[in-house]
Each structure stands twice: as C-alpha cells, then as structure tokens.
Amino acid sequence: MAACALVGAIDFNADDFLARRESGEIEYVIAVDGGFAHLEGIGVAPDMAVGDFDSLGYVPKCKRVSRYPVQKDQSDMELAIEKALAWRYDELLVYGGLGGRLDHTVANLQLFARFSEQGAYITAIADSYAVRLLTGPDVFELPLLESGTVSVFAANDRAEGVIERGMAYSLDDEPLSNRTSRGLSNELTGELATVAVESGTLYVFYPLSEAVRN
C-alpha cells in the first residue's frame, strides 16, 4: 500500500525516509511547517507544504501550499494529517513528530490515536524507534530483529483483548489501561513477534533496524 509521508520540524530520520521513498513505499510527501527545511536539506521537493510557517520563517515555494494563521485551534500536524486523508491516503508515515518539546510529542501522540480510530494506519518514526498505532480489531507484525525493546500502551481508558506473542513476555487476550505502566519494556528474541488488540487503541513502540537508524 502506497503511503503518504508527513515531515514535521522535530528530529528527522532521513535514512529511513530515503530508504522507504526509494523502495516506492512513499508516494506522496507533505512538509509540515519547519519540516520543509529537513526535506530541503536532503534535496527532496515535497508535493505539498502545510502550516503557518512560523517555525520555518518563510512561506516555501512548493507545488501546493496550504498556509494557515499562526493563531488557530489546530496544530500544523493535525491540519497536515487532514490533508493527507483528504487525498485518500490512509497509510501515513510521520517523521519529525516525536522528540523535541514534550508537549508537542504528547499532542502528536493524541492526534495519532484519534486518526487511527478514524481508520488511518499511522506509524511515527523517530531516530532509533517507531510507534505504530493499532486500533482493534487489528494485528501488527513487528520487524524481525534479534533483540530490542517493545513497549505497548493503551491510548484509551481500556483496551481489550490485547495479545503479545513472540517476545520474552506474553499477553494472551488481556486488558490494558492508560492508567498503568504495564506494557513497558518487553523484549524481542529473534522470533516473529506480533501485537494484537480486539478493541481500543494501542501505541506500539518498537526499535528500528540498525540500517535505518540515524
């Protein structure tokens, strides 16, 4: 399935982005405000730029530009995700959305959960890890790695029917709550690992392979 990549202004994993773009996985690219500078730095022209451009400092020249006022009720990332969905992309790869200011990261994670519950498949990619949003009923097969830490948290008050298999510790059709630390720091063992949920939404934090780490 072809994906839309959204590139924000926070830490940018250029290696992962370029690898996925070269493989054809990324079909459409949206620069989110200061994310335009990240793309410019690696010689990639986005298909669209979205934002108030206060972080960037100027309105970029782009095929399509959607400019918004600085004073608004939605973040630039929220507006950009809405644009991607309007273009009929439901597989979204978000770069530059994790790290930096904690409040921005929390806001983005909340957005990702909401849009996942509306049917989008969202993976947020940082320097050494990624976060997959999983809304039930659904199953996520993790990359096959010999080692690494996987954490699974509920985005809702309660996620039901959570399954974790192929890791050091298993869950079998159990609930998770967003009021507990349960789900922190499971371990990959080189086996095929999966996470599933029957209802509710999960954040699945997992490591990237060494080949695409910054």
Residue range of the domain that includes 115: 3-127
Last residue of some domain: 71, 94, 127? 127
What does the pLDDT read at residue 127?
Answer: 95
Q: Looking at the structure, tell me whether residues 12 and 69 fall in a common domain.
A: yes
Q: Looking at the structure, tell me whether residues 49 and 96 fall in a common domain.
A: yes
Q: Among residues 15, 12, 11, which one has the least CA distance to residue 23?
A: 15
Domain assignment of residue 214, yes or no: no
- Take residue 82 and report the two structure tokens written for it: 């809405």
Domain assignment of residue 95, yes or no: yes
Last residue of some domain: 79, 97, 127? 127
Owner of token pair 């990702």: 112
What does the pLDDT read at residue 33?
Answer: 95
**Chain segment 119-135, per-residue pLDDT in tens:** 999 999 999 999 999 99
Q: Looking at the structure, tell me whether residues 93 and 13 fall in a common domain.
A: yes
User: In the chain, how many domains are there?
Assistant: 2
In this prediction the pTM is: 0.94
Q: Distance (Å, rounded) from C-alpha 151 to C-alpha 207? A: 10
Last residue of some domain: 58, 92, 127? 127
Report whether 187 contacts 149 (CB < 8 A): yes
Q: Looking at the structure, tell me whether residues 108 and 169 fall in a common domain.
A: no
Q: What is the mean predicted confidence (pLDDT) over 153-163?
A: 97
Q: Is the peptide bond before 137 cis (omega within 30 degrees of 0)?
A: yes
Q: Looking at the structure, tell me whether residues 102 and 161 fall in a common domain.
A: no
203 versus 100: the higher-pLDDT residue is 203
Q: Looking at the structure, tell me whether residues 176 and 204 fall in a common domain.
A: yes
Beta bridge mates, 153: 203
Q: Looking at the structure, tell me whether residues 147 and 176 fall in a common domain.
A: yes
- Number of CB atoms found within 10 A of residue 185's CB: 12
Domain assignment of residue 163, yes or no: yes
Q: Looking at the structure, tell me whether residues 162 and 106 fall in a common domain.
A: no
The CATH number of residue 187's host domain is 3.40.50.10240
Domain assignment of residue 47, yes or no: yes
Q: Looking at the structure, tell me whether residues 40 and 121 fall in a common domain.
A: yes
Q: Looking at the structure, tell me whether residues 14 and 70 fall in a common domain.
A: yes
Q: Distance (Å, rounded) from C-alpha 111 to C-alpha 52? A: 18
**Chain segment 17-47, per-residue pLDDT in tens:** 999 999 999 999 999 999 999 999 999 999 9
